[in-house]
Structure 1
């Protein structure tokens, strides 16, 4: 906290805001708090779009060569998603391009990791997560928890995700507009992977050729 205060003082000395500008900054942060609840975390969106989340993640999750890189959790992760069998479909609507996702979980030694837990979630082909459209789909659409088999493999069916903007209807959206920045993320799927004896990994899989791979608003590619 001492370091935070020192750097805040340095920022104020450099920028020399008026009292009106400082009060506007306080109102902005207050509004960010009012927009945050158990379904949406506007403070996470703020941190993500400022590149702070990825910087903290990179510093605190340094991995040995060959390990999967970690990335941001994002604001739409929901605890206690339904557990599904190998190959199950996480799309309850069927809207979009049918997609099969397969892969394997392995340790740094290359050995398969059986019974690894994969918490999976994604936006739909319209760019929205289920919690953003509670009246359109039931909770849990395009989410699921899977286990790897004895060979370390996993598989599930879904629909192809699309690029989407981070929510722009709140104060962070107005900040991006004022800064002349776009709000878009490339198409991706989220994973949290855990297994006994291994470090937890939060990561993404991006769709090859997706727009915004070179300009992710949260700098997480």
Structure 2
């Protein structure tokens, strides 16, 4: 559970609200390198709402007079080193960085990658007002694995830290949570390929918790835990 003060961005909002998750849609372009057997992904998440115990939080004014998004980059490698990297195989996240931003108004433009051009998805803030960096995060452990429907499930456990401005947006708890959980999924219709390029559209959520950040010596064990357990179950054991 966390408390948000939207008035730092929103002209319409008049009070704080509580939530336990923020959801949105993501656009990602992954470039595969079969020689190095790795992949590089870049993209954004446009957040469109908050929930509290799965119930939508109303009256946030998100999307009507302020915007919230994340920009991210990651690298991946096969979980089985004998596999050649390709869509549909089990992957480890080997790095992940993300930044969460907010802005007043609705002038931020989200440009997705498309099957016609396969260019990097971008966020255009040139016409936006009051853009602020809220917080940043880095990978602790994560996986991308195929689903039975032909899509993929992206699950990551990351460090998280508010900026000074972020402390005026995420106002409770104090200090704010120090880890973030990222859970995004897509169907087979939301993946398109062109040679070594993979275009992905997905939906999902980000939530936060407080936990001692694992040392490098234990990160490998966490990676094994992500494979061996359903991510939701694993997350509950941390909380």
TM-score (norm 2): 0.27
Larger Rg: 1
TM-score (norm 1): 0.29
**Bigger share in helix:** 1
